[in-house]
Structures are given as structure tokens and as C-alpha cells.
A and B are shown apart, each in its own frame.
Chain A
């Protein structure tokens, strides 16, 4: 019964989304306020209905209702509760409901907090949001209905894929989708602005907080996914440039570019058409990502079994959404008037460079990810594009971004003084020199490239500090004055500094962990000692046992460093009972500066085991860096200027004024 209510709510949500997607558009075109105002209640109602459907799905999973086909095939009564919950989105149907839920959430948030948006813009934004929701609700109901019943009901469920039974992955999809789907707001605002034929600084101020929130969530989501791949897949790597990973990374790159160019629109009333294009592109990439992951067209280490019929449906949605919005763009964008002029050496110029490089880097990733697919569709050979391609194209294009990231904020708007900025950055140059020379001395001269990359990290970190110190007039003005400035500096400035510092930490982590990682693969008998970097791993043996829904073999390694005990590491091999599927649980001993990583392989039957050990220097910094970036975004989001609802349009239209008194 409860499940039927959810099913019914989902169908109602489909109807409501159709209303939300059409009436307000017609109303806005005719200037009819009553019609326009249908947008807000319908967005809230649509959210309520999708939330209800989502909750009934939760209920079915938590109480293991195996008469529901989806629960029977993806859950098990012995599964710990947290994985019963994560099983809701650990499958195709449920994850699509989560997708639509977040879409409706953003729609409702715009409806509720968008009180001071002009009525016509707001109704158009909500209408576009409603149309996207309509497409995906239709997709769920037609091709991937989560509420289908089984007759007769199953006695026991088939268990969630064991690899997904992991705390890191349990919360990876919600964050990832918050990001992916959050970009729909930028898309809706862009399409609405194209229909209105006007983009102004106020528009950018409305779009930025939504984009920023989505960007933060996506950053955290991608970091969680990569962390999961690191400790769960047992290869010691954290990013494989795999199509599924790229699918989430591409919207991130373009979204990052969008965040930066929106600043130019807001501050300088310039680069409008480009910003609109990026808004459309970012969400289009989210859609393409959904298509790539959900259709199974690409061979991926992260691929799951899929159904081709669904792929076709999403492809149709893609064509309509992307094709439609780009056509609208081609038609209306020339009407948008450009604003302030600027010299090439200026803050705008630096942001143009940032955008140019980021989008070019994105294009190379896009090409590498989709080329195998194109070739396959055209009937050519089966190919795949591996990490070396991405490293060879992506890194050279993004390195200049990191270099310019420090200089850009030190340039003035309109016309900057590059020589002056470089002079004021002398401390950063010193830091680079010290880091590069120091790294070569410590690690040996074989790693010159890595030493330069560490220098880049130092450049960014120190450069960010110099820029902040300059804004505060630290060491130049009396302390009281510095304190006053520190309090008055907008949060967005702090946010930028924090996020850019996160990039420095990230670069250091990536460089060190890929350049100086040490790896040993060996067979070991109990009592053997393996040496890795300056650590000794004594293999004590393997003991078996049972977990809640699996049995395991657990290896024991006593790790010591120059005779001093460091840790007892216990990697496991698990066999999940229901699916008899084995998984590897790596043991990781982490300090702030490095990870020791141990994996237990197969037994050869005569008492020895294959083991694989890694020493990964600075690898935790990769995720710490991502978290710092997201934290910077959150600080920026708390800026008064961006706080949702604060921006007030300078030229209020009669409609908006009438609406405010209503």
C-alpha cells in the first residue's frame, strides 16, 4: 500500500511538473501575473510529491519489503541499516529518483528563497526547471520504475553489490548529484535570461550562489568517489581517467570556469554571452555524464550492468535539452550587449585566460572520453584511451592556470600592472626556488619535473598568502588597521584565498604520491618480512572469521620503522555470502604525510599469500586539498553579497514592485 502511494505520488509529480513547465512560460510571454505565479506553488508541490515517493522507497528498503522488485534485487535482510539506506540509490532506478529529488529540491529552493527575483524571470527559471523535471520523471516512470511489485514476493533479497557496501560510497552519490543536478539552476537561469533577452550584474549575483553551492557539493562528491576507489578497489590509485570518472569531472571543470566568469559579469558587466554558454554547457555535461554512466555505452572499471533501452531514452532527453538550449542561444545571444572594455593585462584578462585554458583542457578530456564511442558508432576499431593521454594533454593545459591563479587576483580590474604584481610576489619566487632545490637535494635529481611541480604548489600557496597579506596591509599598517581590514574584507575574498590554497595542497599531494610512490608485490609466508621504503612489514599470518553478511580472511602485518613499532595492519579478503562475490579490503595506515597501504591477494594453497604493499607519500593531501577547496566555496557562499535573497535589483520593474506588495 505504502509503495503504491509512492508510485502514485511520482505520477502526480509528473503532471505537476508539466504544469510548472508550461503555464508560467505562457504567463510570462503574455505578461499575465496570475499565470506566472503558478510557478512557485507548483515547484513546491512537485518537490513534496517527489519527496513522498522517495520516502516510500526508503520505507520499502529499511523494512526489507521484498515484494518490491527493486528491493528484492538490491537489498538483503541481513544488510546493516546504513547499507539498506544507501541501497536506495545504489541502483539505477533509485539513483534516478534521487536525481529528480535533488532537481525538485533546487526548484523548490528557488521558489521559496527567490522572493525578490523579478516575477517574469523567476517564473521562467522555474518553468525550465519544471521541464527538465518532466523529462526525467517521464524517464523514470516509462523505463525505470522503482515501484514495480513482484508476484509472488521474494523470500530474501539478492544483496547490494558488495563493493557498494562501504561508508565512503554510501554518501558519494547524494553529494555527486547535489553537484551535477545543482548546475541545473545555472542552466535554468541561463535559458530564462535568453528568453528575456537580458543579462545584467544582478543576474550574475543570483546565479552565483546556486552555482557555487553545486560546485562545492560536486567537489566533495568527486573527492569521495576517488577516495573510495583508492581504498576499496585495492590498486592504490586514486584516479584512473576512466570514462565514468571523467563524466563527473567534466562538469566540474566547466563549472569552475563558470564560477570565475560569472564574477566578470557581476563586477564588470562583461563576458555575458560566454557566461550564458558556459551555464548551458555545464548542465549539458551533467546530462551527458548521466547518459554515459547510466547507459553503459563505455567500458569502464566502474561499469555496472545496464539496459540499452534506457540509454536511448536519455539520449533523446539530451538531444532535446542540449539542442534546444543551444538553438535558443544561437538565436538570442547576439541580442545581449557587451559591457565594459578591458586591457589584456587586467583581472578580466586573467579570468579570460583561466576560462580559455579550463575549457580547452575540458575539450581534451571530452575528446579522450568520447572518441572511443564515436569510433565505435562509426564502425571503426575498438579502442580505448588510457591515463597517459589525459596526463599528456590535461596537465600542460592546466599548469598555466595554476601559475596565473596567483597573479590574476593581484591585478586591477580594467588595466593591471603585471610587472608590479610580479615584484610584489618576490616571496613566492623565493619559495619556489627553495622548494625546487630542496626537493632535488632530498629526492635526487631524477625527479626534476616532480620538483618543479612541488615548486608550483609552493608558488600557489605562498602567492595566495602574499595576496591576502597585501589586502590586509599586514606588516605595513598598524595592527589595529590590519584587524579592521580583516573584518571588512568580504567573505568572498577569504573564500577565494582558501579555495586557491586548497589547489596548492592538492597539487602537492598529486605530485608526491605519483612521483615517489613505492610498491612491492610479493608472495609471503607467515613469519616473512618485507621491506618497503624504510618500513618493515612482518607477515604474521591469516585468520578467517565472519562479518554480518560476509566471511573474511584477515591478514596481519606488524609494521615497524627502524625497530620502532608503527602499526598492526589487517587487510581483508571478504566473500559476501549471498552473491559469493569476493572483495578486497585494503588496510591503510595513514599519517598526515603518507599512507602505508596493504592488500591481501590470493593464497597459493601451500601456505603463502600474494601481498601488495604501497608507500604513498602525501596522498592524504589530495583529499584534504579538495575539502579545503570546497570549504573555500562555502565561506564564499556565506558572503552577504551572495546570500540568497539579499541581492536587490537596481532597476525594479513594475511587475516586481507589484509582486513585492502582494
Chain B
């Protein structure tokens, strides 16, 4: 076994690994890249369908409804448009009306977003960067809003 020969083996192995990794990454990206939209984006683009997306904004004051089962309905707003959301499960501890929230799920044909996951925060003062930006875009950001 010469040095050249060994190098060839290693290069071939590396190429195989890289190509299989690239193939895996590309197929996985295609299905699993989750895009973020604000309620206004959704209203203008009217997205509905199979793709999982994330939405974010503030939980509208007075919008949280529990109907006695485990299903919870609320609206997420960027202070321009409000999007109705339905979620089945236990909300994270820091979920509160008037606070920032990010939810992942699918847009239903009836304009209701079905969330499979509502993201928790670890810290009361934390505002997800996407939400902050969505609010800024809608022109309703004030300093100190993260409080």
C-alpha cells in the first residue's frame, strides 16, 4: 500500500461521505425548512396547505378561549391583522395575553391556524426576534415593548 494509494482511498471515502451528507441535507431541507410569517404576511399571501410554518406576534388581549376540553383558541396579532389559532394541549408557562408568542403548525383552509407547538420562553423579558421584527414591520414597535 503506497502513500498515494492510501490518499486515493481516503479521498474516495471523503467524497462518498460528503455526497451522501449533501443528499441527506438537501432532501431534509426540502421537507423541514419551516418559514416564519407574521399575521399580515399571511393575510396578503393567503397561504394554506400542507407546509408547516411558524407564525408569531402578540397574543391578542381577551382572545383566549377555553371550551372545557383541552382545546384552546386565541388570536395572534401584529397589531394590524389578527390570526385565529387553535391549539390542543398545555400552553407553556409564560403564555399570556398581550405577550409575544411563536407557534408552529399548519394553516387551515378556513383561515384558522392549527398549532402543534407553542414555543415557550425561559424568561419574561424575552421577545422572539421574529416577533419583534414583525411588529416593527407593522409599525407598532415601541421601545420597552419587550417588557
Q: Spell out A's residues near B (CB within 8 Å).
A: 161, 163, 233-234, 296-297, 299, 301-305, 338, 341-344, 352-353, 356-357, 360-361, 363-364, 367-368, 371, 381-386, 388-389, 392-393, 396-397, 521-523, 579, 581-584, 599, 601-602, 604, 606, 608, 610, 612
Contact call A388/B126, Cβ cutoff below 8 A:
no
Return chain B residues, CB-CB under 8 Å to A361. Answer: 21
Contact between B89 and A612, CB atoms less than 8 A apart: yes
> Contact: B1 with A343, CB < 8 Å?
yes
Q: Is the CB of B32 within 8 A of A385?
A: yes
A389 touches B29 (CB 8 A): yes
Instruction: Identify A386's interface contact among B32, B69, B94, CB under 8 A.
Output: B32
CB distance from B145 to the nearest CB of A (A): 12
Number of interface residues of B (CB under 8 A): 51
Q: Which B residues touch A296, using CB under 8 A? A: 129
Known: A382-B54, A392-B27, A601-B90. 9 other contacts (CB 8 A): A234-B90, A368-B25, A382-B35, A382-B133, A385-B29, A389-B29, A392-B32, A581-B93, A604-B66
Question: In the bound complex, what is the Cα–Cα distance between A302 and B94 (angstroms)?
Answer: 13
- Quick check: B70 and A523 within 8 Å, CB to CB? yes
Evaluate contact between B32 and A523: CB separation under 8 angstroms. Answer: no
8 Å CB interface, B26-85 against A: 27-29, 31-36, 52, 54, 66, 68-70
Flag whether B112 is at the interface (Cβ < 8 A): no
Q: Cβ of B18 and Cβ of A385 under 8 Å apart?
A: no
Task: Provide the residues of chain A in CB contact with B123, threshold 8 Å.
Answer: 161, 303-305
* Measured CA separation A371–B29 after assembly (Å): 10
The secondary structure that dominates the A interface is mixed
Complex alpha-carbon distance, A414 and B94, angstroms: 58
The CB with the most chain A CB atoms within 10 A, among B2, B70, B126, B130, is that of B70
A-B contact pairs, 9 of them (CB 8 A): A302-B122, A303-B121, A344-B6, A360-B17, A397-B24, A523-B68, A581-B124, A602-B66, A604-B66
Which one of A371, A392, A606 contacts B68 once the chains associate, using CB atoms below 8 Å? A606
A364 and B23 alpha carbons, distance in the complex (Å): 11
Q: Which residues of B contact A521 (CB under 8 A)?
A: 70, 88-90
CA distance A601 to B69 in the complex (A): 12
A234 closest partner in B (C-beta) = B90
Which residues of the other chain, B, contact A599 by a CB distance below 8 angstroms?
90
Residues of chain A with a CB closer than 8 A to B25's CB: 364, 367-368, 393
Query: Given A343-B1, A360-B18, do A610 and B70 touch, yes or no (CB 8 Å)?
Result: yes
- In the complex, chain A residues whose CB is within 8 Å of the CB of B120: 233, 301
CA distance A384 to B102 in the complex (A): 11
A304 adjacent to B17 (CB under 8 Å):
no
**B25 shortest CB reach to chain A, Å:** 5
- Beta-carbon contact of B89 and A344 below 8 Å: no
Nearest B residue to A161, CB-CB: B123
- Distance in angstroms from A631 CB to nearest chain B CB is 31
